[in-house]
Amino acid sequence: MKNLLKLFLFVTIPTLIISCSDDDDGTTPFDGESVTYDLMSVSDPSISGEATFTEQENGTVKIVLDLEGTPAGGMHPAHIHNNTAAEGGEIAISLEPVDGDTGMSTTIVSAKDDGTAITFEQLTDYDGYINVHLSADDLSTLVAQGDIGQNDLTEESLTYDLGERAVAGISGEVTFHQRKNGEALAVIMLDNTPAGGMHPAHIHANTAAEGGEIKFTFNPVNGDTGMSMTNVSELDGGQSFTYDDIMDYDGYVNVHLSADDLGTIVAQGDIGQNSLTGESLSYTLNEVAIPGISGSVMFEERMNGEALATIMLANTPEDGEHPAHIHMNSAAEGGDIAFTFTPVNGATGISRTNVSQFDNGNPFMYSDISGYDGYVNVHLSADDLATLVAQGNIGANAE
């Protein structure tokens, strides 16, 4: 029995010593932080993926590019560039090429190409973007691209419609995506732009119905893709203009036919406080002196409480300009002019006017229209106001 006890102690005591030694060591594996960025397709819609930055125990950063759809046998150079992808910039850090067979690239980074040391914290706050190229012989063709660091996008965005204007079929939208640094990525997407065209685009002051000077210049819309991408951080005059400023901005967007024909607008839309809520009031404008001319006037609520008034008439003469007004009282009673619209264009039958105050300066907002005691007259011309081409009661007088 004593011999058995000695044998048990001989076996278990070293085991206990070893177990205690393991517990006392207390070491845990290094668990570095990791951040992932999207790499979007550029020239080939089938190629896209992501870049993952992982902090290493020795202070370096492992950058893994993982792309889907890369052609077998290809080698795709990749780099981190300065600035946003919309702005473009010089190469800051060269990455290992992406292997087309696997779609993978792994690079250990501790410094920029110029030798400046860089950490995980600095890389994940870097003002930069990643480009992945088709080949070493064709660096100008990008297969994937994505903003990184402070230029990465949050999930917040604002989208505004860009309606058709002078060229039938061209319309779309502009979306402002918030960046982590508070700036914005503006993306204009238009349908049916002519191939080979380049369409200048700007933000103007005021509403589209009022018109105003250029305040911000976008990168031109590429007719081949219908797309424009622009970084938004300041107005053309140098004043700060960030994502938070856009929602309340008093402005609109124009997209022009070409740099040589800025007078022709192909798409247009109000933004910020001038955008529409979806609420509207519509009233009929009946034929009066000229057979066939009739239509409607619609008041659409803006985010700021003002309204966009759109008169649409059918069968107006091609070369006509038709003054239009809101008058006091009902059409049967008659009354003085209270509000002046932009004249109806005979070629289109359309008039667009911002509504915020009466002609005398008193406030006149969207919320006032439904209860207003008034009517609309549309006249044949400025020289013949006595001849009415269309008329209809609005507000409290509407049937």
| DSSP collapsed to 3 states, 125-172 | CCEEEEEEEEECCEEEEEEEEEEEECCCEEEEEEEEEEEECCCCCCEE
pLDDT of residue 17: 38
pLDDT for residue 30: 86
H or E, element range at 288: none
- pLDDT recorded at residue 170: 98
CA distance 95 to 164: 44
Task: Check pLDDT > 90 for residue 24.
Answer: no
Q: Which residues, including other chains, have CB under 8 Å from residue 283's CB and lie 6 or more apart?
A: 296, 297, 298, 376, 392, 393, 394, 398
Q: Are residues 251 and 284 in the same domain?
A: no
Q: 203 and 265: one domain?
A: yes
Given this model, what pLDDT does residue 15 score?
42
Give the amino acid at 367. S
> Mean pLDDT, to the nearest integer, of 78-104?
99
Q: Which residues, in sequence order, are bridge partners of residue 121?
A: none
Domain boundaries, position 371: 276-395
Q: Position of tokens 């410094």?
A: 111
Q: What pLDDT digit, counting tens, does each position of 259-311 carry?
A: 999 999 999 999 999 999 999 999 999 999 999 999 999 999 999 999 999 99
d(CA 49, CA 123): 19
Interval 358-377 mean pLDDT:
99
In a domain, 183, yes or no: yes
Residue 179 lies inside a defined structural domain of this protein:
yes
**How many domains is the chain built from?**
3
Asked whether residue 29 is assigned to any structural domain, the reply reads no
Of 272, 301, 335, the residue at which a domain comes to its end is: 272
3 state SS of 18: helix
Q: In terms of domains, do 65 and 145 share one?
A: yes
Query: Residues 116, 170: one domain?
Result: no
Where is the domain boundary, 272, 298, 322?
272
Q: Give the integer Cα–Cα distance in Å for 266 and 255.
A: 6
Give the pLDDT of residue 5. Answer: 36
Average pLDDT over residues 105-113: 99
Q: What is the pLDDT of residue 26?
A: 63
- Going by pLDDT thresholds of 50, 70 and 90, the confidence category of residue 28 is confident
Query: Quick check: 271 and 203 in contact, CB under 8 A?
Result: yes
Q: Give the phi and the psi of residue 28 in degrees, each rounded to 5.
A: -120, 150
The pLDDT of residue 13 is 39
* Torsion angles phi and psi, residue 333, rounded to 5: -85, -35
Q: Give a three-class secondary structure readout of 41-84.
A: ECCCCCCEEEEEEEECCCCCEEEEEEEECCCCCCEEEEEEEECC
For residue 274, give the 3-state DSSP assignment: coil
Q: Which helix (H) or strand (E) holds 20?
A: helix 2-25
Residue 7 clears pLDDT 60, i.e. is over it = no
Residues in the chain, how many? 399
Q: Which two tokens stand for residue 365?
A: 């907002």
Evaluate whether residue 1 is within a structural domain.
no
- Which two tokens mark 26? 């207390």
Q: CATH code at 74? A: 2.60.40.200
Instruction: At 99, list the tokens.
Output: 């292997």
At 363, the amino acid letter reads: P
Q: Same structural domain for residues 123 and 208?
A: no
Identify whether residues 284 and 323 lie together within a single domain: yes
Residue 23 falls inside a structural domain: no
With respect to residue 343, please indicate whether it lies within any of the assigned structural domains: yes
